[in-house]
Structures are given as structure tokens and as C-alpha cells.
Amino acid sequence: MSVRTLPLVFINLGGEMLYILDQRLRAHNTSEDNSEKGVWSEVDRKRVMNDIVGTMFSKNFMDELLKPQQLYSHRTMKTVLTRLAHTSIMRLNPASMDRLYELMIMAFKYQVFLCPRPKDLLLISYNHIDTIREFVKDTPVVLNQVDETHRKIIEVYSSLSEGEFQLLRQTLLIFFQDMHVRVSLFLKNRVQNPNGRFALSTSGPVPHGIDVPGLIRTFDCKGKEVSRAEFPTGGCYTSPIREGSFLLHGDRVSALGLNMYTVNHLEETHTSKTPTVKQQADDTPNLLAKEELNLLARLMGSMKAENMPKAETVFRINLFTTDREEEEEEEEEQARASGGAGQSLYEVINIQAMQDEQAATELALIAGQFAKGEEKPENSESNKGDDLLAMMDDL
Amino acid sequence: MYHKEKSIQIKNSASALYNNLSVMRIAPRRLTYFTVVHANVVNMITASWDGLNYSHRQLQSKEPNVATSTSLIMQAAFCALPSRDLLVVTSQKGIQMYESDGSIMVYWHALDTPETPTAQAVFGRGISAVRENFICVGVSAGAILVFDIPSKGSNITLSEILEEHNESITDMASECSGSQECIADLVSADDGGNLCVWKSGEEFQLLNKISGFDMSCSSVKLWKGTVVAGYGTGQIRFYEAVTGILHAEVNAHARWIYSLDIAPFSGLLLSAAEDSLVRVWHLTLTPETNSVEVAHLHNECVTDTQICGAKFCDGDGYAFAVTGYDLSEIIRYTQS
């Protein structure tokens, strides 16, 4: 399948991640607690955004993504995105990361599914980039990186044909296949049905470049039109609206890829699994193929946070109102499942370590980096983490 | 005109790939085979005509070795030749051919994959049986591989490589009317919407090349010398194969067409697209003028589903089956 998916995957998934983080971090400012201590200030929030965007749009990372390669598993994507999130001072616990990933994936799936023409995947990506620019507009260095990356994306993708974009889209759709997590914001806006599937309308404007269905024309040997007839389409289609801009700046016209989360709606990032969703029980050992491991190592390696001071304290954050009990239940489930085909991140990484000498070293490095973030003891002088957790419990 | 029947449940959902449903009727045993592709697996269902018995089988794409990642399957299609039936599966790594019941793999052809990935994806797509003993398979670089199939056994050989297309092959079809008088045997389509019309033989002969308009032709059929082509613009175009004359054009769908099928005995045409609609048409060909009349007969809407496969279950078009992205069932319709 397509070997050009990764840059768009990271820009869009990363973009969704930033939208959600932005909303969640802002929300903590509106706590009824009113205590100054332990609240994420505007400065903190901007810093988190700048750190993550700076790493995501760094030349090294983008260059790695732009190399032609396959789209691998969710496990790899999640690992890299977690590492991206942790290039900031923020630390997400596994439950938060899982929820965050679900939200990101479902949002991107929705955008790709409803994408009117395959080429509009670029407009969706540019919407994300435009909004990311807004997040970092006060930091010229990072803003410049975003612009540079945008230019590179335009350069690389402008020459793809519609057929190649459709292949890209099909590759993404396979990646999202069978995921039907319900998102309260989508359910509320009726873009998603209670069974987790997205609503597809048979009315409205047709995509740019497509004719409104309903016409049958016949021609003679010389190409002259001989007859025309109409047929009932079963839908209610109208002429296309204007085309969005594919340039560095411009009106993208499509709303897909814009920030759906507003500050006032905390509950909109609530997700729930559909009751009838079939969990694909994978009985195979689920080896991370060597190619995939190599990609993971390269991406992690390219994310060296050069500007991060060594003695930085990190702040744990519980992003979503997960009950204590629910968290514990999830941990139990992970422990149970890890006996067989490991569901938890740690389990799989440990198993892989035994298959291949080189892979073992690489993975140990990666796991080590990941573990460092999680297990770092909280600085007793900083209260942000503790107070946040307390705040989340009160909500 | 048609009503919905009981759906067939499949073990996985269908992937968003062109022409993602293949159907083969085994009349002597009163069975129908269906295949639906899901990522790196082909789901094969055998259904008895009385609707009482269903059996399932899954075929995996062949992995050269465990160190490489799984190979995604692009297409699975039944090829009916006079002497035997085969199931052909194309993936990122190569082409597999099985006995039509999926029991034994009789042939494997590896695609040339470069050591370091290039910007161009590598895969096989576009499968068609041609005349007595050929199976043609398209590849992403634009070439068409012609395989010579013996009447039995696994001594299948690569007979020829046709290089006319510059873009990835999307679909191929052979003349399905059963008429021996038609000059054109095969039509191939690519991502640029270009169509090539061929005559089969020890050496295949290019009869005509019909230029596309930079829009992918995702599905193509050949019936009584007329090429029926479905495009990403939602249009269906009807060309006279040998001359390339455009006889009819239908603004059929509001989104990308994913599948076309023709019932050769009745001239019924089935079209399905990402817009969630399946449409049934009737084609009338006038031999003297080679003109085509297209009449619209019926619509079916599969709510909230981007359809990826639609095929008639018999030569008269009495019944048809539909698959959709993320849908774990084959939906069936029968004439009322």
C-alpha cells in the first residue's frame, strides 16, 4: 500500500492530540477550586504546546517521516505519540494516553472517512497545521519550523495524482478499520451513530470537480450529443462549492481538521466502547517486525529534546475523568491479558527483547526512555501534579 | 425491483479496496463462493443455494519471511477458465493462485521489491481470466503479467509482460458475453483513467489505447465489444473498445466508483460507490451503429456505508451481493 502516509498521519493525529491537550489544559484553569496553587497557567500551557510542536515539526523528525515507508501498527504509532507528548513537561499516565489515542484516532478516522475527494486529505492536514500555527504564534523559532514543514509537505504531496491519494486514503482506512469508539462530541453533533459508525449523507454539495449525478447522455460516432435523460438519484445533491486553497496560507473551505473542541464543553472528550464491538483477539505472537522496530528506533532517535533542561521536574496529569476504580480495573485487565497475546505496552516490548539481539538493545533503549518519564519521582516541592489529580477527582 | 435478503456474516470487515467482492457460482454442487478482502486476509465463504449451509475459510497473504511486516492484500478474484477455476490473490509482495475452493495454493509469483523502499508503492492489482488459458494480473508500476495456465497442475508460467500503462493498474476485465466474434479480449485500466484494449494470443496485441482525463478508472468491464468504465468522478463511460468512440456517459454517483459488474445474459449493469449507493442499469447495444442505450432501473442505499464491492450472483442478474468498508457482512438482494 501507500508509502507516503506517515507525515500526514503524524500531522493529523498530532494535531488532534494538541487540540485535546489544549482544551484539557485550559479547562483546568476554570476549576471552581479557585486556588492559585497547582493550576496550569497560560504560560505552562503554551510551553507544553511549544515543546510538543517544536519536536513534532523538527527537521530530523519530519525527514524521518518523509522517507517512503509502510504504515505500521497502532502500537508503534502510540509509542511515538506518547514520546512526543512527553517531550513537554507533562506526563500522561497509560489510561490517559489510551483515551487520548482513541480520541485522536476516531477524529482522524472521521475526517478521512468523510473526506470528499482523496486530495482533500491535504486540506485536512493544512487545517491542522493552520491551527497549530496559532498555538505557537508567539514563539518565532517553532513557528518557523511549522512553516518550513508545511512548505516541504506542499512540495512532496502536490505532485501526487488523485489515484495515489486514494491509495493513501485506503491505507489509512485499513489502519482505522474496525474501530468504533463512540465519542460524545460526535454523538451530540450526530456525525456518529450510537453504534459507533459515522453518518454518511446522500444530500448536499458534491465534491469539487464532480458533476451532480442524475444525467445520462449518449453520443454519435462524431461525438455529438444525441440524447440526454435524467434518472432519480435517491439523494439530494447540489453543485459543488468553491475549492479550498492548497497553498501555504488560504481558506481551506472544508471544516474537517479544524479544532472541534471548545473550552466550555469538558464532557465532549468522553469516549465509550460500543457494547457490541468485536475485539479482534489476536492469537499470533504479534511480533513487531524488524522493519517496524527499525522505524520506531529511528523516530525515537530523531526526537532528541535538545532544549530540555536536565533538572526539569515533570508533572503528571490525568487527562480525563477516569474513575479510580475504572483505572484499577483497566490495570487488572492488562495484567490478565498479558499472559496471552500481550495487550499492555510493556509486556509486548519485553517479549520482543528475546527474539533478536539487535532489536533487544534498541527496544531496551526505547523502553528505557519511556519508563524514565513514567517512573520519575515527583518533586515534593511541586504541587501541580498532586493538586491536578485531586481536582480531577472532584470533577 | 429488488428486495433485501438475509445477509451473510463474514469473519472480518471488508477493507476499502476497489472491486472488493468476488463471486463464483458452482452450479453442479449448488454452491456459491464469495471472497472479501480484509487487510492481509481473504475471507472465503461457501454458501449453499438453499440458504442453509455456510462455511468459512481464511487465506493469508504469503510472507516471504517473518522478519518483514505483514503484506496487505489488494485484491482477490475468481478466474473461470474452460478447463479449471482458480482464485487469484494479489498483495504487496506478490501473486498467489489457489484452487477455487481455496484449499491449495498452486502458484506463487513474487513481485520485485527494491531493498530500500522507493516513492512508488509496490503491489499487484487487476485480475482477469482471458480466453482459454490465460490469467492476467496488473502491477503498480503499470505492467500486466500474462500467465499461461495449464488445464491442470501447477505448471503455471509467466508467458509475457505487457508494458503500455505508465500508472498503476486498477482493474482489468475480459469479454464476458461469451461471443467468439468479438475481436477485443481484454481491457485494462489505470490510475490515470487510461484504458488499453488487447487481443489475446501467444503474444498479446494492443488494439487500442483510450486516454483518460487524469482521473482514476477504478473499475472496468467489457461486454459485446463495449468497454464500461467507472471513474473517481462518479461517472460511468461507455466506449466502443476497438475504435475508442465514446457512446454514452452517465453522471452516476456523487463519489468515487468502487465497483462495476455486468450480468452478460440480460445486459444488466451494477455500479457501486463511496456515496453509499448501488445502482442497477440496463444496457441495450445496437450492433449496426454500435450505439449504447443506458436505462436506469433501480437504486439501493446502504446507509452510512462506503461500498467497496458489488457483484451479480448469476449471469442473468437475478441476484446481487454488496460489501462495504468496515461492514462484516455481505448484503444480498434478489429480484422481487
The ipTM (two decimal places) reads: 0.95
Determine the CATH number of domain B2-335.
Answer: 2.130.10.10
Task: For A204, name the nearest residue in chain B, comparing CA atoms only.
Answer: B254
CB contact under 8 A, B256 and A232: no
Residue A325 in this model has a pLDDT that exceeds 60? no
Q: What is the mean pLDDT of residues B28-50?
A: 94
B residues 279..318 contacting A (CB < 8 A):
289-294, 296, 299, 301, 303-306
Mean pLDDT of chain A: 76
Mean pLDDT along residues A80-87: 87
Confidence class for position A262, pLDDT limits 50, 70, 90:
low
Q: Is A68 in contact with B216 (Cβ distance < 8 A)? A: no
**What DSSP letter does each residue of A172-240 carry, written as one string?**
HHHHHTT---EEHHHHHTTSB-TTSPBP--SEEEPPTT-PPS-EEEEE-TTS-EEEEEE---SSEEE--
Q: Which three cell numbers stand for residue A365?
A: 533503549
CB B79, CB B88: distance < 8 Å: yes
Tell me the average pLDDT across A15-35. Answer: 72
Q: Say what the pLDDT of residue A47 is.
A: 87
**A81 against B114, higher pLDDT:** A81
pLDDT category at A218 given cuts 50, 70, 90 is: very high
Half-sphere exposure of residue B225: CA atoms within 13 angstroms, side-chain side: 21
* pLDDT over 60 at A388, yes or no: no
Kindly compute the dihedral angle of the four CA atoms of residues A169, B168, A213, A114, in this order, to the nearest 10 degrees: 0
Torsion of CA A164, A165, A166, A171, to 10 degrees: 90
Every domain of chain B and the residues it spans? 2-335
- Say yes or no to pLDDT of A310 above 50: no
For residue B219, the cross-strand partners are B230
pLDDT tops 60 at residue B304? yes
Q: Which pLDDT band holds residue A389 (cuts at 50, 70, 90)?
A: very low
Residue B109 pLDDT: 93
Q: Is the pLDDT of residue A387 over 50?
A: no
Does residue B180 surpass a pLDDT of 70?
A: yes
The answer on pLDDT for B322 being more than 90 is yes
Count of all residues that appear for chain A in the document:
395
Residues of chain B with C-beta less than 8 angstroms from the C-beta of A235: 254, 275, 277, 301
Kindly determine whether residue A200 and residue B253, on different chains, have CB atoms separated by under 8 Å: no
Q: Percent of chain B having pLDDT more than 70? A: 97
Q: Cell numbers 519550523 correspond to what residue?
A: A145
Residue ranges of A 148-207 with Cβ closer than 8 A to chain B: 161-164, 166-167, 169-171, 173-174, 177-178, 180, 193, 197-200, 202, 206-207
pTM (predicted TM-score): 0.85
Amino acid residing at A84: L
Binary contact (A163, B17; C-beta < 8 A): no
Residues of A in Cβ contact (< 8 Å) with B195: none
Picking from A183-197, B9-23, B221-235, B302-316, which range would have the lowest pLDDT averaged per residue?
A183-197
Q: What is the 3-state secondary structure (H, E, C) of B136-160?
A: EEEECCCEEEEEECCCCCCCCEEEE
**Summary mean pLDDT of chain B:** 93
Please tell me the distance from the alpha carbon of residue A109 to that of residue A107, in angstroms, as a whole number.
Answer: 5
Q: What does the pLDDT read at residue A40?
A: 67
Q: Which range, of A68-72, A302-306, B94-98, B323-327, averages the lowest pLDDT? A: A302-306
How sure is the predictor about A285, in pLDDT bands with cuts at 50, 70 and 90?
Answer: very low
Task: Give the A window 64-103 contacts with B, CB below 8 Å.
Answer: 67-70, 72
pLDDT tens, position by position, B186-218: 999 999 999 999 999 999 999 999 999 889 999
The answer, for A286 touching chain B at a CB cutoff of 8 Å, is: no
Check whether B14 has a pLDDT greater than 70: yes
